[in-house]
Chains A and B, each alone.
Chain A
Amino acid sequence: MIYRRVFDYPWRFRGMLDEFERMRQMMDRLVTETEGAFPIARAGVFPLVNLTENKDNFFIRAELPGVEKDDLEISATSNSVSISGERKIPQEEEGARYHRREREAGRFSRIITLGAEIQPDKVEAGLKNGVLTVTIPKAEIAKPKQITVK
């Protein structure tokens, strides 16, 4: 109850403190709620990718609906893979009236740096149902070795 001694207007000040406390609680709630809702960290560069790994390979997957395999360019260095290309949306017939236009066309380019050395000459890529999967074999040196305890 220190504020009573500091300020001459205890009643009004108490109201203000309550108000601040309420605000703080609301901010706390906002922060905790938002944290749960957006658990995913994104680079914000198209296309969004999912990177997974197993013992021998890295896998990069990206959703690229409507992208032809000839419009896609993939290259690899010793520790990164670059995906670039263009999504084309062909012109529809004359006289078509659009109700909705949500799909977008454009160029894209992205470089994904991997946490370990890879074999760039053995990278394979497949495009199926609009989902790109790049299989990237890890370099021998980067593969985990089983060590037996003697």
Chain B
Amino acid sequence: MANAQTKALKTKEKQEVMTPAEQTRPGAVFTPSVDIFETEQKITILADMPGVKADDLNIDLRDNTLTLLGEIAPVEGPDEEDVLIEYETGKYFRQFTLSEVIDQEKIDAQLKNGVLRLTLPKVEKATPKKILVKAE
């Protein structure tokens, strides 16, 4: 792990979202890089969304589909002229299908330094019920 911490970072192109249907609103849409890990009690998702404010972030969970949508406000001043542009900004969008049952009440989302930390606690497993077959 110590080795991995000190290696030089390589540039990674932002991945634009490829959808079969066109967006209704113009502008680029990117896929945020994520780490997803799971323990017995919860699933945690870390997503890189630089430039997204907490108010502009939408997290939606329904029918086992988790949707992350982050909107970006332009940071450039009105009188600025581009000299060198290496990256583009745009919305962040990504969807995941969750197979586990999530306790929706206890979902926790934190946004810090452009990284979203989403904690999804699993529903306590119901104790297996024995079903009696009645004989007539």
Contacts and interface: CB of A to CB of B under 8 A. Distances in A.
Interface of A: 40-55, 58-59, 61, 63-68, 86-89, 91-93, 95-108, 115, 127, 129-131, 133
A25 B51 CA distance: 43
Q: Determine chain A's interface SS by DSSP, over half rule.
A: loop
Nearest to A109: B8
Interface stretch (B60-68, B81-89, B123-131): B81-89
B51 A91 contact: no
Interface string B1-38: 10011111111100000000000000000000111111
Which interface residue of A42, A46, A48, A92 has the most chain B CB atoms within 10 A? Answer: A48
Given A51-B83, A66-B115, A99-B38, A129 B51 contact: yes
A52 B81 CA distance: 5
A104 B9 contact: yes
B33 A102 contact: yes
